[in-house]
Chains A and B, each alone.
Chain A
Amino acid sequence: MSREISVDYLARVEGEGALYLAIDGDKVTDLRFRIFEPPRFFEAFLRGRNYLEAPDITARICGICPVAYQTSSANAMEDWLGVELEPGVKQLRHLMYLGEWIESHCLHVYMLHAPDFLGYQSGIHMAKDHPEAVTRGLRLKAAGNRLMQLLGGREIHPVNFRVGGFYRAFEKAELAALTHELEWGREAAAETVDWVSGFPFPDIEIDYEFVALRHSDEYAIVEGRIVSSTGLDLAVSDWPAYFAEEHVEWSNALHARRIGGGSYQVGPMARYNLNFEQLHPAARAAAVGAGIAGGTRNPFRSIQVRSVELVHAFATALELIDAYQPPSAPYRVGSVAAGTGHGASEAPRGLLYHRYQLDGEGTIVDARIVPPTSQNQLRIEDDLRLMVPSLVQLPDDELKWRLEQAIRNYDPCISCATHFLDLRVERHVSR
């Protein structure tokens, strides 16, 4: 007797992916998280381009997190050029990144992930019964977009980002105009933590290796060193010495793993568990209320973690605006010479690593880009393998939905990872 389940296109994720699962009794015999998003070959056509083009070109890898691509690529170029950013420019970079975090986290928490917990096909379906929550979520999301519109010119593929800084800087009054909405957002984000904390969470704890950036002075987003829950503490340029990507037949996204080791997790859970003490006090207070202040290894609770990070983002944005001092110039230039630059930042979904090799004219000779979803891909497969045995008694439709939810715990961005979901389960019952 055999049982086959198929979901051919995973919904509510960014991009195209699928899952194939074969079960014998309650044992998983095969599990493949497939990314069939067509390859677009960014690393290939970056060769021959000028270094100043990298932020605009790599932004197009992902419409959900363009600021992450712009930041990691600019970090790499500024590393190569030896350019140190002015404090005011650093504040603007941080503020713009928080805008993207707010937009992306609100999209995932309210429109993509919450419907799983409350049993709706989409956020739009959910809005009929939960109009207050969805309206709050959309207004929060709009607040993030407003930050990006101001600082970047537009929310998707912002135009103001430049290697060395920005094309134009801002007066303090321009930023202060956002304060009122951000103050509302800080309170509404705390309400979001309370709202999602009432959701039903499956009882599961997984022993993850978490990997994230850490910064001496702040909850690392824009820059930092690479640290892990097993004690790694690395310069960004050491990424290739400790991690490797492999190409498997069933996926157009490369699978990253620890060299000599297995899967690991990047993203909100990793940042939260590694750097909890550096969260804004308002975010830590919200975490206490949510009952996860000691950290959490339950992947379904990632929706609470994202919500706590939202509180952090709004509270930190307000402080940045308050402390902002306009820079003397919008950008700095460095001296071009043949060399290599490494850059990383914390995209909403996790660590995003870029490396560029450049010639003496500033032309890109070689590029390497490792998005968060390629790093989480192997870990997602491991999570599903662990969860399936306790779920096999569920009817096909429910099993399918629960596995989709487990994948959405990671907010996978498949468009990024393809350098991703149809879900198919095959059951064989051996007697």
Chain B
Amino acid sequence: MAAKLAVWKFASCDGCQLSLLDCEEELLTVAAAVDFAYFPEASRAEDPGPYDLSLVEGSITTRHDAERIRKVREMSRYLVTIGACATSGGIQALRNGADIAEFISTVYASPQFIDTLASSTPISDHVKVDFQLRGCPINKYQLLEVIGAFLADRRPNISSHSVCVECKDRGTPCVMVADGIPCLGPITHAGCGAICPAYRRGCYGCFGPADTVNLPSLKNWWHRLGVSETDITRALRTFNVNAPEFAEGSAKRVP
């Protein structure tokens, strides 16, 4: 019998689960090998579970979702988070430490209708996670690798070095050394294929922190390029703001 795959959504933009539908050449092959047992973005069919592999997109931002993720864990043999929201809390974690009442009233006329938690937290804060796939958004080929690996009961072959290594692989000259463009590549987790430097801009850290991060050294580099402390803080406070290595380096709120 084909393995049962489930795709779950929490607070997110839908982009990471779209990555699965963006595997245009591979989708029907994957569908022949696994049973899309629960994937509401793509199908009305609902298999009540249990599931062999659950892919979880999005962060936990409501009491209801904090309960729901526990049920997902109970129904899943393996649980893999896909993307920055599920893995670190996402850009919506910019609310963490801010005045949530002020946030709600900025957007909504009737704050009393809104049920939300004061913080946005990663899935691993709530349940055991078997693997975390990074990226805002994830890389679809890495997603196929992860699905294949878990269905074969092996470890996914996903590197945790920095984006710098990917620039070297790709043959992109260092934008920071050669052009003086501030780049988060040295502290950012690989996986995108070092796209930004290949497009003449610095990495903006959407895959979150690499395995070993030397933040003080990177800050020195950025200071030498004339970047203000405020702008360094802004650069670290984006799609992985709640990842510990980035949060520490930007403890202060953007003014």
Contact = CB atoms under 8 A, between A and B. Distances in A.
Interface of A: 9-16, 37-45, 47-50, 53, 56-57, 60-64, 66, 103, 107, 111-112, 115, 121-125, 127, 131, 134-135, 138-139, 141-142, 145, 153-157, 159-160, 162, 167-168, 246-249, 252, 254, 330, 401, 404, 413, 415, 419
Contacts of B16: 63
Contacts of A112: 42
A43 B13 contact: no
B61 A153 contact: no
Contacts of B201: 159-160, 162, 167-168
Contacts of B90: 40, 60
B61 to A, nearest CB: 5
Contact of A12 (B11, B40, B92): B40
Contact of A138 (B28, B91, B95): B28
Nearest to B15: A63
Most buried by A among B13, B62, B198: B13
B225 interface: no
B195 A159 contact: yes
Contacts of A145: 22, 24
A65 B229 CA distance: 33
B14 A63 contact: yes
Contact of B106 (A38, A40, A44, A62): A44
A43 B17 CA distance: 24
Contact of A16 (B9, B109, B114, B255): B9
Q: Which 3 A-B pairs have the closest CB atoms?
A: A63-B15, A122-B43, A142-B24
A419 B39 CA distance: 24
Contacts of B36: 122, 124
A151 B40 CA distance: 30
Most buried by A among B199, B206, B238: B199
Contact of B116 (A12, A38, A156, A415): A38
Given A62-B13, A168-B200, A415-B12, A127 B25 contact: no
Given A38-B62, A39-B108, A124 B27 contact: yes
A123 B31 CA distance: 11
B234 A415 contact: no
Interface in B136-179: 136-137
B182 to A, nearest CB: 12
A37 B85 CA distance: 14
Given A61-B13, A107-B21, A122 B45 contact: yes
B218 interface: no
Contact of A63 (B109, B137, B231, B239): B137
A41 B106 contact: yes
20 contacts: A12-B40, A14-B41, A15-B9, A16-B9, A38-B116, A39-B114, A43-B107, A44-B106, A50-B234, A63-B14, A63-B15, A64-B14, A103-B22, A122-B45, A155-B22, A156-B22, A157-B15, A159-B196, A167-B199, A249-B110
Nearest to B196: A159
A63 B18 contact: yes
Given A41-B92, A41-B107, A254-B108, 15 more contacts: A38-B10, A40-B120, A41-B103, A41-B106, A42-B107, A44-B102, A50-B231, A56-B204, A66-B15, A111-B42, A122-B39, A125-B45, A135-B28, A153-B198, A157-B136
Nearest to B113: A249
B238 to A, nearest CB: 7
A121 B107 contact: no
A123 B137 CA distance: 23
B110 A12 contact: no
A134 B25 CA distance: 11
Nearest to A7: B44
B28 A40 contact: no
Given A12-B41, A124-B43, A247 B199 contact: no
A124 B253 CA distance: 46
B215 interface: no
A163 to B, nearest CB: 12
A40 B120 CA distance: 9
A157 B137 contact: yes
Nearest to B102: A44
Interface in B62-121: 62, 65, 90-92, 94-95, 98, 102-104, 106-110, 113-114, 116, 120
B28 A134 contact: yes
B81 to A, nearest CB: 16
Interface string B175-218: 00000000000000000100110111100101000000000000
Contacts of B137: 63, 154, 156-157
Contact of A11 (B15, B44, B94, B239): B44
B2 interface: no
A419 B106 CA distance: 10
A9 B40 contact: yes
A339 B116 CA distance: 33
B200 A167 contact: yes
A155 B135 CA distance: 13
B19 interface: yes
A347 B114 CA distance: 27
Contacts of A37: 11
Contact of A60 (B65, B91, B195): B91
B254 interface: yes
B18 A64 contact: yes
B243 to A, nearest CB: 16
Contact of A124 (B17, B28, B195, B239): B28
A415 B13 contact: yes
Nearest to A146: B24
A246 to B, nearest CB: 7
Contacts of A248: 113
Contacts of B204: 56, 159
